[in-house]
Amino acid sequence: MFAFLRRRTKPTVRAPLRSIEWDGHELTLTLDVGVAAEVALDIEGFHFTTVPIDRDGRARFAFTFSPAEQTTFDLLPRLGRDGAGLTGEAFHVVLGTAGLQPAVRDTRAQARGQHEVFARCVPFGADVAAHEVAIVVPVYNASALVGPCLDALLDHTRGRAQLIVIDDASTDVAIAPLLARYASLERVRVLRNATNRGFTATANRGIELAGLADVVLLNADTEVGPNWLTGLRRAAYAGDDIATATAVSDNAGAFSVPELEQANTLPACWRFDDCARALWQGAGLAYPQLPTGNGFCLYIRRSVINAIGVLDDAAFAQGYGEENDFCQRAAQRGLRHVVAGNVLVRHARSQSFGEERRLALGLAGMAVLRERWPHYEAEVGATLYSFERRVLDWRVRRIYANARIDNAARPRLLWVGADAPAWADAEVWNLRANGAENELVFAGEVVAANTWQANDPETSYRALWDWLQIHAIECLIVRERKQSAAEILCGLLDIPIVQIGPMSAGSARAALRDAESALRSFPESRA
């Protein structure tokens, strides 16, 4: 009885669309031939990608994994980005199941328990925290941006790190007294070139001074946010064949999100730190791959430097091409370069040289790259719009579009066992035992679960290892240190462990205040 209420029908097709097919992993649209050149696709109400229509009038969208947090999601094809809808309404698909279904109002509720999270996690047991990192910041003028860049580094850098700041004989008289404020800090070195040597030679000086440490090349017109170095470390060590990991930015060419090669506007209702944390929690760990990294914020493994040498400062004296050449040399040895989509770094761009000279240097650098690496541009074109990258940009669009003053991302803290503190200024996630189940719980809902097996505990440890990364846990809070499995795994993943007193403070900020200085890589205050 009332079976007609449950009957599923296909969505209404609008011209020039003729038919839709979903085989569980690929959406195929057939249109009238010659009417349009491309079709766009929205997922859950946000633009995902645009693809060309072939000579037979077909446009195909293949799905390697679910872009959303569940196996089900709504699609709406359009005649070009932001164009007219090609169906009367969005329709519902299930990854792995053929056929179309009408859209539902709350796909997340319908799909509760069907979470499908694609993530390239650090291999189980790898000691990411053991890798010391030297952050190399070449400086040339732009004093108004250098101070905020260094202050953000001091505030947000955690783990084993040293900072090497090199003034490349700046002509800006404000640079010397500005850098003097940082010279006495622990694990910070402030140096000056006697004459201007150019960006690349200055960066090489920092790489050599770093000793055996991995290196992050960071432009002085950038601003980092929470978890930035932890995110880059994990991306760089997510595979043995990864050479470099590059952050994403509001303004860094091919590494700009959500719109490539554009200066993207951040949500006005959020601070930059809020935006960075939102991507840390929501951008995912797919790590799109490109044939190059970008020196505005580039993590380089020391083993790669040892294998192929430093940057070519003869061919690329002022920069603009030196990291591309370096990455191509690494690629010759079978190494890869990934995008750490969950690490957002703000970038002012062109502040040292200006836009006109930057463009000129870019053209000169590209001429050298074309001569040395004739297939480089084709490789960029083949990978720039990969499925992983489309998912990353789509997630950032969704995050920014949903930004409100009252929903800024809060730090995610993990508590093991009963009596988890209730703090309004943080998300306190709870790892608890429920019979034979280990459950990860937030806001009263089980986010993930694993069955404990006494004869095979490693299975549960591996599950927790992945949960810590996938769900972007920032800190483990404990009443007392026990060398528990959670503590050991957090230690390996560069997640700080903070002991709080028996009388919990009324907020996470207050409870963690005493530990904050010790957590920082550079704990001393600026003068």
Q: Reply yes or no on whether the pLDDT at 527 is more than 60.
A: no
Region 33-59: mean pLDDT is: 95
Region 232-255: mean pLDDT is: 98
Percent pLDDT > 90 in the chain is 82
Q: Tell me, what DSSP letter sits at residue 254?
A: G
Region 207-230: mean pLDDT is: 98
426 closest CA partner among 434, 415, 437: 415
* pLDDT at residue 115, rounded to an integer: 52
* pLDDT at residue 204, rounded to an integer: 98
* pLDDT at residue 317, rounded to an integer: 83
* pLDDT at residue 526, rounded to an integer: 56
Three-state secondary-structure class, residue 346: strand
Write out pLDDT tens, residues 23-32. 999 999 999 9
Return mean pLDDT, the chain. 92
Do residues 347 and 391 make contact, with C-beta atoms less than 8 angstroms apart?
no
Write out pLDDT tens, residues 172-195. 999 999 999 999 999 999 999 999
Q: Reply yes or no on whether the pLDDT at 503 is more than 80.
A: no
Q: Reply yes or no on whether the pLDDT at 119 is more than 90.
A: yes
Omega before residue 138 within 30° of 0, cis: no
Q: Reply yes or no on whether the pLDDT at 90 is more than 70.
A: yes
pLDDT band at 5, cuts 50/70/90?
A: very low
Cα–Cα distance, 414 to 486 (Å, whole number): 9
Per-residue exposure over 441-454, b if at least 16 CB sit within 10 Å of its own CB, e if not: beeeeeebebeeee
* pLDDT at residue 331, rounded to an integer: 97
Write out pLDDT tens, residues 417-436. 988 998 999 999 999 999 99
Percent pLDDT > 70 in the chain is 93
Complete edge-to-edge strand list for the sheet that includes strand 497-499: 445-451, 437-442, 427-434, 412-416, 475-478, 497-499
pLDDT band at 362, cuts 50/70/90?
A: confident
* pLDDT at residue 519, rounded to an integer: 87
The structure tokens listed for 152 are: 């953000």
Strand partners, 223: 346
* pLDDT at residue 350, rounded to an integer: 61
Region 77-95: mean pLDDT is: 95
Can you list the pairs that 256-265 forms with residues at least 24 positions away whose Cβ atoms lie under 8 Å?
Answer: 257/283, 257/341, 257/344, 257/392, 257/393, 257/396, 258/393, 258/394, 258/396, 258/397, 258/400, 259/393, 260/384, 260/393, 263/349
Do residues 187 and 521 make contact, with C-beta atoms less than 8 angstroms apart?
yes
Cα–Cα distance, 222 to 275 (Å, whole number): 15
Q: Reply yes or no on whether the pLDDT at 358 is more than 80.
A: no
Write out pLDDT tens, residues 369-406. 999 999 999 999 999 999 999 999 999 999 999 999 99
The structure tokens listed for 426 are: 């943080």
